[in-house]
């Protein structure tokens, strides 16, 4: 089908579309499909480098409360470049291919983003979350944005944002490991997203004595850590806790006589897991049963697991990310 020709696009339309919607829409509006793809690739590389630099700790993120604002500000240079480019192209871009019609210009990118980003990536591979509390300090800080691997443990009925099928258990199941930082659906409502560290596997015996975790009768070693900044004022007592397989991470046990520092022994049922927050005196976790006053977490069923955290890529409070997801191995 031969593309129709028309009058040049108005300068005002290029300015408005460029500022509000960005370079890809501008190029589609001008009928330059290949340039739209070039801008798309350039933006993916640009934002990939930025988030990689922040996620690896090379760059401290600016303190901005909303990630959408961050993306808009960081994308502004691309918008300006596209406007200047579009104004230069407007008199030579007179061809009007099918994708330059106004309704397709806006619907096509939105539909593609919905299918690729939401349905494919978010549902099947990696889902973004953010930390609304300090229950996992210092491994996960307030304001952290992170990705959870959906494929790591396989898929359950809670893996999808909408109900595709109500099936029991998991498909393509993978085994969680002690020490994983896990996002899961709160068992007492199967709706609320929680994030904790997996401490106990099915069949494990867990007890706390004076703030020390006893796993199957053996205490998990604790080593003081001095060189991590206290981001909660004067209420920090950072300790490195080491699991039997040698995996370690940092916890905060600020109050040696906390309300859950001494417990009865828990025996994790088959098909369930025992979760604890790293900020041991400021977390609602498996130490508190679902019938606890005000509601607790209790043992978490396997099918409630969404997946482990695999990458922290931003912090809205301007906190450096470093290697804390790996448990500060250099500290």
**Residue burial 92-108, b: 16+ Cβ < 10 Å; e: rest:** ebeebeebbbeeebeeb
Q: Does 135 participate in catalysis according to the annotation? A: yes
- Among residues 93, 100, 135, 156, the one annotated as catalytic is 135
Cα separation, 252 vs 270, in Å, equals 29
Query: Which of 287, 320, 329 minimizes the C-alpha distance to 57?
Result: 320
Distances (CA, A) of 34 to 27, 31, 37, 38, 281: 8, 9, 5, 6, 56
Tell me the residue ranges of DSSP E strands in 226-280.
Answer: 238-242, 248-252, 266-267, 272-276
Cα separation, 174 vs 293, in Å, equals 34
Cα separation, 155 vs 170, in Å, equals 5
Q: Does 196 participate in catalysis according to the annotation? A: yes
Cα separation, 210 vs 285, in Å, equals 17
- Among residues 150, 196, 248, 316, the one annotated as catalytic is 196
Catalytic residues: 135, 196
């Amino acid at each position: 089908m031969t593309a129709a020709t028309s009058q040049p696009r108005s300068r005002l339309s290029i300015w408005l579309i460029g500022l509000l919607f960005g370079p890809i829409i501008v190029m589609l509006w001008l009928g330059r499909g290949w340039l739209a793809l070039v801008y798309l690739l350039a933006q993916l590389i640009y934002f990939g480098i930025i988030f990689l630099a922040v996620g690896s700790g090379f760059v401290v993120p600016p303190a901005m409360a909303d990630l959408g604002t961050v993306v808009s500000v960081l994308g502004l240079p691309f918008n300006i470049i596209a406007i200047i480019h579009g104004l230069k192209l407007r008199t030579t871009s007179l061809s009007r291919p099918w994708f330059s019609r106004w309704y397709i210009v806006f619907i096509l990118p939105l539909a593609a983003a919905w299918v690729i980003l939401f349905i494919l990536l978010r549902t099947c591979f990696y889902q973004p979350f953010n930390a609304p509390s300090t229950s996992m300090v210092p491994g996960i800080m307030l304001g952290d944005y992170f990705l959870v691997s959906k494929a790591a443990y396989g898929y359950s009925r809670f893996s999808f944002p909408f109900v595709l099928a109500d099936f029991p258990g998991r498909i393509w199941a993978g085994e969680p490991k002690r020490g994983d930082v896990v996002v899961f659906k709160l068992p007492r409502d199967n709706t609320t997203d929680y994030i904790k560290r997996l401490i106990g596997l099915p069949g494990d015996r867990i007890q706390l004595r004076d703030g020390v975790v006893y796993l199957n009768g053996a205490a998990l070693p604790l080593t003081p850590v001095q060189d991590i900044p206290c981001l909660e004022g004067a209420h920090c007592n950072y300790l490195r806790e080491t699991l039997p397989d040698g995996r370690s991470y940092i916890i905060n046990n600020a109050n040696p006589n906390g309300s859950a520092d001494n417990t009865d022994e828990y025996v994790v049922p088959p098909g369930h897991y025992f979760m604890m927050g790293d900020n041991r005196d400021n977390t609602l976790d498996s130490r508190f049963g679902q019938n606890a006053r005000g509601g607790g977490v209790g043992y978490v069923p396997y099918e409630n697991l969404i997946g482990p955290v695999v990458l922290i890529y931003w912090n809205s409070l301007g906190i450096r990310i470093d290697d804390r997801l790996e448990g500060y191995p250099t500290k």
